């Protein structure tokens, strides 16, 4: 039997558990077998990101940074350490973050922290950089790693003590401009995370007790994982003038009068978004990566024997060069392994499209194209190949987005009683229900949900006004809000 004839005979890479029956075990196994991370680094909560994961993250960074720069943000890099005195300048901020801070010791009298976030680092310099209206708006961002002293169980990419993100810090002359920036941030999350990375979300205005330390309000972008737990993705915060007053960031207005700036910050955690991409689209054969971010978008599998190897490999190289010239990331797998083994390997890695090329395809001037998401094959002509590959890549991403959106929509359950909320949570759904208030006076009812149902109130929808009816299902007082609640990591 020749390799041309033996396309499918191979040892399949298998997973010990299924995604549907045991998501947690499936996730741990897939990030290891697909070589996204390695957990064997001997410090709790810190993982090694391997080349396949690093290339994915780099692609995601590039897409996000390009969009940030289009909206007027400029890149910068700030030190990893922050002096304790900086934290102390904004009371709410230091109170909110102190339990999560890694403090460096044995460095003399100065007490330094590994950054959990960088407001207090940026704004120390903003007070020097901003003098008048000509200096505003100031919109800077950095890609960075941040450190949080997590005390709960850690999970690679999902909940860690170090994660990779982007943080944008903006300053404006008016509150109106700052609030426009908040809207721009949410629109960016929709354009990039949802439309490019194919991760749907709910923009939730956090309850008063759960807003970012030092903010007037917080909008968190929540998505749901296959185990029914929500994970917060990019969040944006209207900081108001809390930090500008703490760090004395002022400008002279048109009348020559000194005014405090208005500020916002925005934080997409790229490594955590990757966790959602893996979890939302992967299956029991491995990763399923969007065409838009995959390090290899098309893998070319030449199927040859000793007699025709030169002919087949030569044609494969022509195809690879043609695709790369068109801006498509392509790779030839010319290893001596059997074709089926290569198929299973690249399916596990999540490569969106696969070209199968043997002597038969060469003679017929056509190729066999396999799509990773639906595992279907079709014959395509060599003519206008790059255009066809881009077309099929866009179709694949559209299918992934449609499936993710439908599943996300189906994960929201309308509830009228505590019992229905409990049932929704047990069924791995987000519960939507009437609630008394997301101000401080509703914190006791939220505490009941947290203690009795092991869930948290995510907040109210920011993208639309939902009118509350009836009574709060917890305290039986008149409902003032429609809120969403779910279990979380």
Full pLDDT tens readout for the chain, 489 residues: 344 434 444 455 567 789 999 999 999 999 999 999 999 999 989 999 999 999 999 999 999 999 999 999 999 999 999 998 898 887 677 777 778 899 997 677 788 999 999 999 999 999 999 999 999 999 999 999 999 998 777 899 999 999 999 999 999 999 999 999 999 999 999 999 999 999 999 999 999 999 999 999 999 999 999 999 999 999 999 999 999 999 999 999 999 999 999 999 999 999 999 999 999 999 999 999 999 999 999 999 999 988 898 999 999 999 999 999 999 999 999 998 899 999 999 999 999 999 999 999 999 999 999 999 999 999 999 889 999 999 999 999 999 999 999 999 999 999 999 999 999 999 999 999 999 999 999 999 999 999 999 999 999 999 999 999 999 999 999 999 999 999 998
Per the structure block, which two tokens stand in for 184? 């721009």
Residue located via tokens 């929709």 = 190
β-sheet with 102-104: strand ranges across = 81-83, 112-114, 102-104
Q: What's the 3-state SS for 118-172?
A: CHHHHHHHHHHHCCEHHHCCEEEEEEEEEECCCCCCCECCCECCEEEEEEEEEEE
Closest CA to 203 of 214, 225, 188: 188
Name residues whose C-beta falls within 8 Å of residue 303's C-beta, 6 or more positions apart in sequence.
Answer: 3, 4, 7, 312, 339, 356, 357, 358
pLDDT value for 17:
85
The reported pLDDT for the residue numbered 2 is: 42
Q: b/e string for 233-242 if b means 16 or more Cβ within 10 A?
A: bbbbbbbbbb
Identify the pLDDT of residue 89: 85
Rounded distance, CA 431 to CA 428, Å? 9
- How many Cβ atoms from other residues are within 10 Å of residue 213's Cβ? 18
Sheet hosting strand 298-302, strand order edge to edge:
330-332, 298-302, 353-357, 366-371, 376-381
Q: What pLDDT score was predicted for residue 138?
A: 98
Other residues' Cβ atoms within 10 Å of the Cβ of residue 151: 10
For 336, phi and psi rounded to 5 degrees?
-75, -5
Q: 250: closest CA among 334, 325, 172?
A: 172
The Cα 245–Cα 248 span in angstroms is: 5
The residues with which 168 forms a beta bridge, in sequence order, are: 141, 266
Cβ count near 267 (within 10 Å): 22
Cα–Cα distance between 474 and 488 in angstroms, integer? 20
**Distance between CA atoms of 152 and 412, rounded to whole angstroms?**
26
Domains and CATH numbers, the chain: 23-281 (3.30.930.10), 298-396 (3.40.50.800), 412-488 (3.30.110.30)
Residue 16 in tokens:
């010990």
Three-state DSSP state, 106: coil
Taking a C-beta distance cutoff of 8 angstroms, is the pair 434, 470 a contact?
yes
Q: Which residue stretches of 12-110 are H helix?
A: 23-33, 51-70, 84-87, 91-97
CA distance 345 to 209: 47
What pLDDT shows up at residue 109?
75
Look at residue 13 in the predicted model and tell me its pLDDT. 59
Can you tell me whether residue 482 is helix, strand or coil? strand
Return phi, psi of residue 215, to 5°. -100, 155
CB-CB contact of 69 with 140 (8 Å) = no
pLDDT for res 14: 64
Q: Supply the pLDDT for residue 1.
A: 34
469 by DSSP, 3-state: which?
Answer: coil
Please return the burial class of 419, using the count of CB atoms within 10 Å of its CB with bins 0-12, 13-18 and 19+: exposed
Provide the pLDDT for residue 5.
39
CB atoms < 10 A from the CB of 431, how many? Answer: 27
Q: Which residues pair with 264 in a beta bridge?
A: 170, 238
34: three-class secondary structure by DSSP: coil
The answer to whether residues 189 and 203 touch, using CB atoms and an 8 Å cutoff, is: yes
Q: How far is it between the farthest Cα atoms of the chain?
A: 87
* Residue 420: Cβ within 10 Å count: 15
Q: Where are the alpha helices (DSSP H) in 200-308?
A: 242-246, 270-281
């Amino acid at each position: 039997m020749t390799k041309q004839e033996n396309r499918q005979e191979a040892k399949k890479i298998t997973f010990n558990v299924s995604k549907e029956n045991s998501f947690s075990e499936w996730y741990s196994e897939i990030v290891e077998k697909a070589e996204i991370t390695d957990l064997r680094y001997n410090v709790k909560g810190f993982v090694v990101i391997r080349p396949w994961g690093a290339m994915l993250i780099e692609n995601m960074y590039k897409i996000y940074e390009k969009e940030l720069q289009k909206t007027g943000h400029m890149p910068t890099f700030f030190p990893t350490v922050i002096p304790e005195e900086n934290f102390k300048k904004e009371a709410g901020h230091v109170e909110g973050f102190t339990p999560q801070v890694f403090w460096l010791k044995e460095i003399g009298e100065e007490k330094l922290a590994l950054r959990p976030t960088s407001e207090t680092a940026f704004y120390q310099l903003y007070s020097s950089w901003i003098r008048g209206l000509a200096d505003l708006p100031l919109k800077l961002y950095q890609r960075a790693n941040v450190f949080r002293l997590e005390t709960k169980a850690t999970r690679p990419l999902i909940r860690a003590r170090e994660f990779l993100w982007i943080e944008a810090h903006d300053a404006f002359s008016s509150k109106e401009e700052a609030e426009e920036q908040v809207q721009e941030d949410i629109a960016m999350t929709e354009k990039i995370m949802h439309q490019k990375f194919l991760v749907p979300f709910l923009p939730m205005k956090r309850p008063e007790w759960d807003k970012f330390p030092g903010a007037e309000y917080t909008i968190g972008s929540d998505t749901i994982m296959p185990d029914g737990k929500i994970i917060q993705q990019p969040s944006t915060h209207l900081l108001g003038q809390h930090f500008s007053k703490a760090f004395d960031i002022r400008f002279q207005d048109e009348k020559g009068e000194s005014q405090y700036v208005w500020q916002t910050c925005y934080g997409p955690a790229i490594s955590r978004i990757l966790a959602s991409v893996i979890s939302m689209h992967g299956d029991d054969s491995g990763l399923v990566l969007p065409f838009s971010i995959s390090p290899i978008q098309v893998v070319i599998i030449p199927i040859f024997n000793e007699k025709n190897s030169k002919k087949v490999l030569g044609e494969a190289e022509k195809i690879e060069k043609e695709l790369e010239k068109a801006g498509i990331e392509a790779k030839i797998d010319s290893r001596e392994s059997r074709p089926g083994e290569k198929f299973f390997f690249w399916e596990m890695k999540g490569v969106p499209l696969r070209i199968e090329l043997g002597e038969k395809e060469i003679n017929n001037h056509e190729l066999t194209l396999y799509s990773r998401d639906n595992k279907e094959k079709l014959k395509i002509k060599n003519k206008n190949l790059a255009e066809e590959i881009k077309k099929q890549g866009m179709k694949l991403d559209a299918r992934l987005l449609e499936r993710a959106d439908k599943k996300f929509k189906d994960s929201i359950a309308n509830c009228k009683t505590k019992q229905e909320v409990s049932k929704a949570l047990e069924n791995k759904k987000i519960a939507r229900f009437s609630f008394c208030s997301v101000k401080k006076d509703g914190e006791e009812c939220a505490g009941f949900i947290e203690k009795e149902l092991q869930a948290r109130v995510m907040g109210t929808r920011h993208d639309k006004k939902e009118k509350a009816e009836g009574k709060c299902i917890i305290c039986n007082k008149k409902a003032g809000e429609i809120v969403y609640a779910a279990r979380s990591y």
